[in-house]
Amino acid sequence: MRAGLVLAAALALAAGAGAADGDLLAAKERYLPPAQAVKVPITAIGWEEDLDVSATDLAEWREYGETREYLLPGEPLQFLAAPRGLRCVMEDDFAD
């Protein structure tokens, strides 16, 4: 999702649009194809202290199919330390 928004922002800037949120959203709708569901479950993991990716952003993955969303404690690079919460989510998902 984030890559799509970045692409939309780049296209909007190239087309002469400003960087306001409304412009970015309009560019996203104009340049991105509609979501196509995938046949496998999706696990969306975010971090409570992440200022760029919110629970609402994680929910956007629902467009693509069956999704489980987890908002774990910590900052965005917390995954590098392989915290217990992250390991549990991964273990649970692979067990299903």
pLDDT in tens, 49-86: 999 999 999 999 999 999 999 999 999 898 899 999 99
| Overall number of domains in the chain | 2
What domain range includes position 89?
36-96
pLDDT at 83: 92
Q: Compute φ and ψ for 18, nearest 5 degrees.
A: -75, 180
Which tokens is 11 given?
A: 């296209």
Question: Residue 76 contacts by C-beta under 8 Å, 6 or more apart in sequence?
Answer: 47, 49, 50, 52, 53
Regarding pTM above 0.75, the answer is no
Question: Residue 75 contacts by C-beta under 8 Å, 6 or more apart in sequence?
Answer: 47, 49, 50
43 and 62 inside one domain? yes
CB atoms within 10 A of CB 8: 21
27 and 43 inside one domain? no
Q: Mean pLDDT throughout 24-49?
A: 80
